[in-house]
Amino acid sequence: MTTFLEIRDLTMRFGGLMAVDHLSFTVEHGQIHGLIGPNGAGKTTTFNMISGFYKPTSGQVLLRGEDISGLKTHEVARRGVVRTFQHSTLFAELTVLENALVGTHMPFRPNIFAAIVGWDKEDRIGAEARAREALEFFGLDHLAGERAGDLSHGHQRALGMAVAYASHPDVVLLDEPFTGMNPEETRRMMGLMRNLRDSGITILLVEHDMQAIMGLCDTITCMSFGKFLAEGGPKEIRNHPAVIEAYLGGARHVA
Amino acid sequence: MLRAGIWILALAAFLALPHGLSFSQQEILVFLVINILLVASYRLLTLTGEWSLGHVVIMGVGAYASALYTKELGIAVPLSMLLGGLTAALVAVVLSFPLFRMKGFYFLIGSFAAGEIIRLLWKRFREPFGGAKGIKGIDPMPDFSVGFYRFDFFEPVSYYYFAGIVVGVCLWVLWRIEKSPVGLTFHAVHWQDKLAEASGVNLRAYRTLAFAIASGFAGISGALLAHYVGTINPNSFDVEVMVFVLTWAIVGGTATFYGPILGCIALTVLNEIVLRELGFEQMRPLIYGAILIASILFLPDGLESLVQKLLRRKAAPAKERVAE
Amino acid sequence: MLDLLAQTGLNAVYAASYISLVAVGLVLIFGVMGVLNFAHGELFMAGAYAVVALYADAHLPFFVAVAAGLVFVGLLGLLMERALFRPLKDNPLGGLVASIGFLMILQSLAVMGFGVRMEHIPPVTQQVIEFSEKVRLPVARLYVIVAAVVLLTALWYFLKRTRFGWALRASAQDPEAAALQGISITQTARIAMFIGAALAGVAGALTAPLVSVNPHMGHSVIVTAFIVIIVGGVGSLEGAVIASVVYAVVHTFVTTFFDGVIADITGLSLMLLVLIVKPTGLFGSRERA
C-alpha cells in the first residue's frame, strides 16, 4: 500500500538561504499531524510548498504516490489537499453563506451555459446544501446572512475552516489556526478539529501554541533550521533532547 | 404581482419613449441603448477586480469584424453582429495571454498599450481596415416585418426597438451570469484570489472568462453601432470614448449591476438634453472631466449609493413592522 | 549610408531629449505621489500653448515665453496636487482617474481658447549646423538637447546633493518612515509636482516651433512616456532617461527605414514585451501597487 502523504527530500532555497533542507516525513491517513519548530525553522515554507504556493527547488510531495509538487494551488486543491490561511483571510465583502459557497467550487463546478439557461438548479441546491452543512459543522449556521468581515475573530477562523471543509477535502492544511485566540476559543477549535478528523479528514497543521499541539496531535514532526529534527507522539516529542535543545536555543519563541 | 407590474410598466416606457421626441433625440436614444450594453459589459470585467483601458477598442473589434463580415464575405447583418461579438471575445482570449501576466496598475497600462496597437493596425493596413478613413458604407440592417410591426431601419425608432431588444437580451444574460455561481466566483477572485485558488478556482481561467464575456458583449455593442452609423474609423474608438465609459461607470458606481447603467443614462440625459439645449455642446469633454473629478472626490461610491440609501430608508420601516 | 545613419542618430538624440524630460517628470510624480498622471501629455501641450500665446501671438522673446511656460505648467502641477492628488492620496486608482478628468479639462480649454486647428509658430531661428552636406542639426533642435542636458543634470544635482532632494527621495521610497523623520509629505509632494509638471511644460514649450501644436497633441506624448517609464522601470529616474534614449533610437530608426505607424507599433510592442517578461522594468527593482 502506498503512503497517504509523503514529503520526500523537499528543499527550498531562496538565493543563498536554505529555507528547507531535504526534509522528509510522512502523514498517515486520518491523523492530526503537527509540524512544529522554532521561528524560522521553515514550517510555513514547507506548508507553502505542499499547498502549491511555492515550487520547491527540489524534492517531491507525494499524495497516494502521485507527485503533486510544482502543481498550481488550484490543481493541488483539486487533488484533495486544501489549505487555510494565517490570520483571517476570507471574502470579507461576501456573506458567510457565500464564503462557504465558494468552498463548494470543486464538488459543484459552475457551468456558465447551464447557469444562463437555468439548467443548474440541482447543482445550486446541492451546493447550498453542502455550504449550509459546512456552516453547521462549525456552528456558524445562525450567521449565514452576516457579512464575513463583521464576524468575531474566532468565528472568522471557523469560517476559514468551513470554506475548506465545504470542498470535501482529503487533507486540510491549517496554518497557525490558534493564533490570537483566547483559551476558550482554542478549546472549542480543538474540538472542531477532532470532529474534522473523526469525519475522515487528515489534518496537517503548523502551530506555535505548544499546549494545543500536544493536546491535539497524533503525530508531531519537529524541524529546525530547515531540517528534520525529530518525530513521534506528543510524549516522545516533549521529552526529546534534540527538540528541547532546539527550543531552548530559541526559548523566547516558545509560546 | 408587483414585480410583474413593474416589468410591464418598464416595457411600456421602453415602447413609448421615442414617441414625441425629435429625430435627433431618437438617434441619441439609439446610442444610449448601445452605450448601456457597453458599460454593463465593462462592469462584468471589473467584477474580477481588473480595470481595462482597452474596452472601447474591443468594442471596435466587434464593429470592424461585423462590418467586414458583411462587406467582404456577404454574411447577413444579424448573423455578422453575433460573429462580431464572437470575434471580440476571441481577440480578448488571445490578448489575455500577455495581459493576465499583469495585475492592477500594470494591467491597466498593458490593456491601454494593447488597445493602441490594435488601433494602429487599423490605421496602418488599408486592406482590409480602410486605414485612417476607416470603413464606409457599412450594410444597414435589412428591413423586416413581424406582422404587427414593420422594422424600417431608415427610422431611428425602428433601430431603437431592434437594438433595445438585442441589448435587453444581452443584459439578461449578463445578469444571469452575475447572479450565478460563476458570478460568485468572479467576486471571490476579486476579493481574495489566494483563498479562491485554495478552494480550487483556476484564477487564470476565470479572469480570462470574465474578460472574454465582457469583450464579447462589447463587440456586439460595437456591431450594433457600426450597422447603425454606417461608417467607422480608428478614431471612433479612441481614448476619449474610453474616458466616457470610465466616467459612466464611476459616476454610477460599480458595486451593483445597475450602477454603471444609471451613470450612463444620467450623463447622457445631462449631456444631450441639458448641454445641447443650452448650447454648451463644445464643452462636453470639459464637463465630463469636471464630473469625473467631482464624482471621484465627492461621491466615490457613485449614484448607486444614493439609490441604495433611498431604498434602505424605505425598506427599514417595513422591516420593523414585520418585527412587531 | 553613413550620412543617413549619422543624421538618424542626431534625430534620435533630439527625440531622446524631449522624451526624457517628459518621462522623468512622470516618474518623479509617480514616485512621490504614487499616482500615474495621465494628464502629463496635456501638461506638455499646455507648455506648447504658452509659447503659442506669448511668442507667436504676443511677440515676446522665445525664451521668455519658454520660461513663462515652465512656471505656468509647474503651477498647474501644484493645482493638481492640491485639488486632486492630496484629497485622493489613499486611492491611487482614484488619482489616476481624476488625472484623466483633468486631461479632458485641459484639452477642451485648449480647444476653446485656440481652436482645434494646428498652430503655426514662426521659426525661432533658421540657423543650421552642418556637419556635412547631408548631416545637419537645426539650432532649434540643439536648444532642446541643451535644455534637456542642463535641466536633467540640475535635477540630478538637486536630488543627490540638497536637503530637499534627500527628502524627496526618502518620501518616494517610504512615505511613512519619511514622515517619522520630520519630512513634510505635503511639502515634498508640492515640490515633486511642480518639478515634474514643469519639466513636461518646458519640453512642450521648447518643441512647440518644431512640431504641430494642437489640442490633441498630448495623446502621442503620453503614450510615448508610458512606454518609456514601463521599459525603464516605474520609479527609476535613471531608468527613464536610459529608456528614453533606447526608445528614441529604436523609434527614429524604424521611422526612417519603415514608417511612423510601424515605429509606434514597435514601441508599444516593446512595452508589452517588458510588461510580460519583467514588469518592474529593465532598470527598476522596486514595485508599487
Domain limits at C184?
2-215
Q: Can you tell me the mean pLDDT for A121-145?
A: 91
Q: What is the pLDDT of residue B321?
A: 40
- Among the partner-chain residues B180, B184, B202, the one whose CB lies closest to the CB of A102 is B184
**Cβ atoms of C95 and C31 closer than 8 Å:** no
Across the interface, do C271 and B113 touch by the CB < 8 Å criterion? yes
* Digit-coded pLDDT (tens) for B93-108: 999 988 888 877 788 8
Across the interface, do C272 and B284 touch by the CB < 8 Å criterion? no
Is C88 part of the contact surface with chain B (CB cutoff 8 Å)? yes
Best mutation target, B46, B192, B211, to test chain A (most A CBs within 10 A): B192
Distances (CA, A) of A188 to A99, A152, A160, C187: 21, 14, 15, 53
Position C144 in a domain: yes
Across the interface, do B297 and C87 touch by the CB < 8 Å criterion? yes
Cβ contacts of A119 on chain B, cutoff 8 Å: none
Across the interface, do B187 and A108 touch by the CB < 8 Å criterion? no
CA nearest C102 in B: which residue? Answer: B289
Cβ contacts of A115 on chain B, cutoff 8 Å: 176-177, 180-182
**Cβ atoms of C219 and C270 closer than 8 Å:** no
Across the interface, do A102 and B201 touch by the CB < 8 Å criterion? yes
* Digit-coded pLDDT (tens) for C9-19: 899 999 999 99
At residue C222, what is the residue type? Answer: I
Cβ contacts of C94 on chain B, cutoff 8 Å: 296, 300
Q: Can you tell me the mean pLDDT for A217-223?
A: 91
CB atoms within 10 A of CB A205: 24
Is B275 part of the contact surface with chain C (CB cutoff 8 Å)? no
Confidence of residue A238 (pLDDT cuts 50, 70, 90): confident
Could you tell me which residues are beta bridge partners of residue C130?
C136
**Cβ atoms of A112 and B205 closer than 8 Å:** no
* Digit-coded pLDDT (tens) for A135-184: 999 989 999 999 998 998 888 988 999 999 999 999 999 988 888 888 88
| Dihedral pair phi/psi, residue B44, rounded to 5° | -60, -35
Position C234 in a domain: no
- Among the partner-chain residues C100, C230, C269, the one whose CB lies closest to the CB of B243 is C100
CA C79 to chain centroid: 18
Distances (CA, A) of B222 to B56, B57, C281: 9, 9, 35
Q: Can you tell me the mean pLDDT for A84-107?
A: 88
3-state helix, strand, coil in chain A (%, to 5): 40, 25, 35
Closest among A42, A46, A63, A65 to A54, alpha carbons compared: A46
pLDDT at C201 over 70: yes
Give the max Cα distance, chain B: 73
Q: B225, exposed or middle or buried, with CB in 10 Å at 0-12, 13-18, 19+?
A: buried
According to DSSP, residue B300 is labeled T
In chain B, where are the structural domains located?
Answer: 24-237, 238-324
CA angle C11, C13, C15 (to 5 degrees): 70
Question: pTM of the full predicted structure?
Answer: 0.88
- Among the partner-chain residues B105, B239, B286, the one whose CB lies closest to the CB of C108 is B286
According to DSSP, residue A53 is labeled S
Share of chain C above pLDDT 90, in %: 47
User: Nearest 10 degrees: CA dihedral of A66, A70, A73, A74?
Assistant: -60
pLDDT at C158 over 50: yes
Number of structural domains, chain C?
A: 1
Position C58 in a domain: yes
Across the interface, do B120 and C94 touch by the CB < 8 Å criterion? no
Q: Which CATH class is domain A1-80+170-255?
A: alpha beta
Q: What is the pLDDT of residue C150?
A: 95
Lookup: cell for A158? 471557523
Half-sphere exposure of B222 (CA within 13 A, CB side): 37
Q: What is the pLDDT of residue C289?
A: 32
**Average pLDDT along chain C:** 87
Category of A9 on φ-ψ map: left (φ > 0), alpha (ψ -120 to 50) or beta: left
* Digit-coded pLDDT (tens) for C27-65: 999 888 888 899 999 999 999 999 999 998 899 999 999
Could you tell me which residues are beta bridge partners of residue A6?
A26, A62
**Cβ atoms of B223 and B275 closer than 8 Å:** no
Closest approach of chain B CAs to the CA of C150, in angstroms? 31
Lookup: cell for B297? 472626490
Closest approach of chain C CAs to the CA of B228, in angstroms? 27
E strand segments, chain B: 144-145, 150-151
* Digit-coded pLDDT (tens) for A34-78: 998 887 788 889 989 999 989 999 999 999 989 998 899 999 999
pLDDT at C198 over 90: yes
Q: What is the pLDDT of residue A255?
A: 40
CA angle B180, B186, B192 (to 5 degrees): 130
pLDDT at A122 over 80: yes
Chains that touch A (3 or more CB pairs under 8 A): B
**Cβ atoms of B91 and B54 closer than 8 Å:** no
pLDDT at A1 over 60: no
**What number of H helices and E strands is found in chain C?**
11, 2
pLDDT tens track, chain B, 324 positions: 788 998 999 898 888 888 888 888 888 999 999 999 999 999 999 998 888 999 999 999 999 999 999 999 999 999 999 999 999 999 999 999 888 888 777 888 889 999 999 999 999 998 889 988 999 989 888 888 887 888 888 888 999 999 999 999 999 999 999 999 999 999 999 988 889 999 999 999 999 999 999 999 999 999 999 999 999 999 999 888 898 899 899 999 888 899 999 999 998 888 877 777 777 767 778 888 898 899 989 988 888 888 888 887 665 554 444 333
- Among the partner-chain residues B177, B187, B194, the one whose CB lies closest to the CB of A89 is B194
In chain A, where are the structural domains located?
Answer: 1-80+170-255, 90-168
3-state SS of A90-150?
A: CCCCCEHHHHHHHHCCCCCCCCHHHHHHCCCHHHHHHHHHHHHHHHHHCCCHHHCCCEHHH
Position C226 in a domain: no
Cβ contacts of A120 on chain B, cutoff 8 Å: 180-181
Q: Can you tell me the mean pLDDT for C260-266?
A: 90
> Is C138 in a helix, a strand, or coil?
strand
Q: Can you tell me the mean pLDDT for A207-235?
A: 87
Q: What is the pLDDT of residue C284?
A: 58
Position C94 in a domain: yes
Q: Can you tell me the mean pLDDT for A188-205?
A: 91
Is B293 part of the contact surface with chain C (CB cutoff 8 Å)? yes
